[in-house]
């Protein structure tokens, strides 16, 4: 099982357990005369309602029919989801009541349970929507107030930039290039999850990935990430050629150091990383065009981790970085 699938199944499991507990408590309170029956009804209702809805969110988003529905006007797409949810909720409540009591009564089965189930379904949608926008780990940090005040952190960064994006965009057109970029970012997400990276943000055709670097050493997966991305792109090569007539290539720059992390912004807040570390990583990304190597890493990062199997580092002349007194030691990474 890939790390992406494992991550989604963990989210599915913990949300299922959470909704089951809440439903059991609600059932016990609603059936004060027979709390055990209420708990059983709540647990079964959660299994029959939350499980298919969470499965849709976890696994269904990549189904062809779901992708086609997502291209509909948002009002129509939302209406279809509402109808599906209503069928699941009503069917789940009736099935749970029938299993517990042995008979089906619309008045007894629905009642307050319908309102509660709709509220829980809306909550699940909100959780998945916010989680897909910000990342579930980041949502947890924001909810706990980790970045309310700026804090110093040691982090490793990987900046990935698509090659010849301007020429490809001119040939494909804006809409088709957006679809290509979306598939490219999906492969980046796969590589990020496999190597334990967090996706900080997308900027145009560039992606910024990051890892905490507080320990004395970093896992070799950090340096393996660009090559995992190449493997995912190669595996989807036929798909890229069929849809767009081109297989995307990329450049990458990697560096680690101290940054300041914190929430920033007023009308629209986001997590920002501020400091020289990101600037140096961006400078490395620019340098790939001059030195003729697609993956560059700083000596600062190279000394904090070990080379993954099958990857070699070729030392290069030091790089002068504006605003940095000492020249930066760099190396090119490639497959052996």
Report the pLDDT averaged over residues 286-299: 91
Phi-psi region of 208 (alpha: psi -120 to 50; beta: other; left: phi over 0): beta
Confidence of residue 46 (pLDDT cuts 50, 70, 90): confident
Structure confidence at residue 3 (pLDDT): 59
Beta bridge partner(s), residue 252: 160, 295
Q: Is 71 exposed, middle or buried (0-12, 13-18, 19+ CB in 10 A)?
A: exposed
Question: Interior CA angle at 83 toward 179 and 67, to 5°?
Answer: 15
Least confident range from 59-63, 76-80, 303-307, 319-323: namely 59-63
pLDDT above 80: residue 186: yes
Report the pLDDT averaged over residues 174-179: 91
Phi-psi region of 204 (alpha: psi -120 to 50; beta: other; left: phi over 0): left
Structure confidence at residue 214 (pLDDT): 83
Q: Which residue has the higher pLDDT, 309 or 265?
A: 309
Confidence of residue 195 (pLDDT cuts 50, 70, 90): confident
* d(C-alpha 125, C-alpha 133), whole Å: 12
pLDDT above 80: residue 64: no
207 three-state secondary structure: strand
Query: What's the mean pLDDT when you consider all of the chain?
Result: 81
> What pTM was computed for the model?
0.69
DSSP 147: T
Sign of CA dihedral 88, 90, 94, 96: positive
Report the pLDDT averaged over residues 259-275: 81
In order of 132, 150, 263, the CA distances from 145 in angstroms are: 19, 11, 10
In order of 58, 116, 118, 119, 120, the CA distances from 123 in angstroms are: 15, 11, 9, 6, 5
Indicate the domain borders of the chain.
3-134, 148-335
Q: Which two tokens stand for residue 92?
A: 């789940």
| CATH class belonging to 148-335 | alpha beta
Report the pLDDT averaged over residues 311-326: 82
pLDDT above 90: residue 18: no
Report the pLDDT averaged over residues 112-125: 65
Confidence of residue 137 (pLDDT cuts 50, 70, 90): low
**Strand 295-298 to strand 328-335: parallel, antiparallel, or no bridges (unpaired)?**
antiparallel
Structure confidence at residue 121 (pLDDT): 65
Highest mean pLDDT among 53-57, 107-111, 224-228: 224-228
Q: Which residue has the higher pLDDT, 322 or 35?
A: 35
* d(C-alpha 304, C-alpha 70), whole Å: 43
Structure confidence at residue 72 (pLDDT): 72
Structure confidence at residue 53 (pLDDT): 76
Q: In this structure, are residues 48 and 91 in contact, taking their beta carbons and an 8 Å threshold?
A: yes
Cα 242 from chain centroid? 26
pLDDT above 70: residue 330: yes
Residue in 28, 50, 52 with CA at minimum distance from that of residue 100: 28
Least confident range from 54-68, 218-232, 293-307: namely 54-68
Strands (E), the chain: 151-162, 198-203, 206-212, 250-264, 270-274, 295-298, 311-319, 328-335
Least confident range from 152-156, 225-229, 241-245, 265-269: namely 265-269
pLDDT above 70: residue 165: yes
Q: Which residue has the higher pLDDT, 136 or 165?
A: 165
Cα 258 from chain centroid? 24
């Amino acid at each position: 099982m890939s790390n992406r699938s494992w991550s989604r199944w963990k989210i599915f499991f913990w949300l299922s357990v959470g909704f089951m507990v809440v439903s059991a408590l609600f059932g016990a309170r609603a059936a004060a005369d027979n709390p055990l029956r209420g708990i059983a009804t709540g647990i079964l209702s959660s299994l029959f309602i939350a499980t298919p809805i969470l499965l849709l969110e976890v696994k269904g988003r990549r189904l062809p029919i779901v992708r086609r529905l997502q291209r509909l006007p948002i009002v129509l797409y939302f209406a279809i989801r509402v109808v599906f949810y209503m069928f699941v909720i009503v069917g789940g409540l009736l099935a749970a009541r029938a299993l517990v009591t042995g008979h089906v009564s619309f008045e007894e089965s629905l009642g307050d349970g319908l309102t509660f189930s709709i509220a829980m379904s809306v909550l699940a949608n909100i959780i998945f929507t916010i989680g897909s926008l910000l990342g579930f780990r980041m949502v947890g940090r924001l909810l706990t107030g980790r970045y309310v005040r700026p804090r110093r952190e040691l982090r490793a960064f990987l900046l990935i930039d698509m090659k010849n994006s301007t020429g490809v965009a001119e040939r494909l057109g804006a809409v088709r290039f957006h679809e290509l970029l979306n598939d490219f970012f999906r492969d980046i997400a796969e590589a990020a999850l496999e190597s334990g990276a967090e996706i900080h943000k997308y900027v145009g055709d560039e992606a910024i990935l990051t890892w905490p670097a507080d320990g004395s050493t970093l896992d070799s997966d950090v340096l393996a990430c660009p090559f995992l991305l190449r493997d995912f792109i190669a595996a989807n090569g036929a798909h890229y050629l069929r849809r767009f007539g081109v297989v995307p290539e990329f450049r990458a720059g990697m560096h680690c150091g101290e940054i300041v992390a914190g929430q920033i912004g007023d009308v629209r807040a986001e997590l920002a990383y501020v400091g020289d570390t990101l600037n140096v990583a961006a400078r490395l990304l620019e340098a790939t065009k001059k030195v003729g190597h697609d993956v560059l890493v700083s000596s600062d990062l190279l000394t904090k981790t070990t080379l993954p199997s099958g990857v070699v580092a070729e030392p290069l002349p030091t790089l002068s970085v504006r605003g940095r007194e000492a020249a930066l030691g760099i190396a090119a990474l490639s497959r052996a």
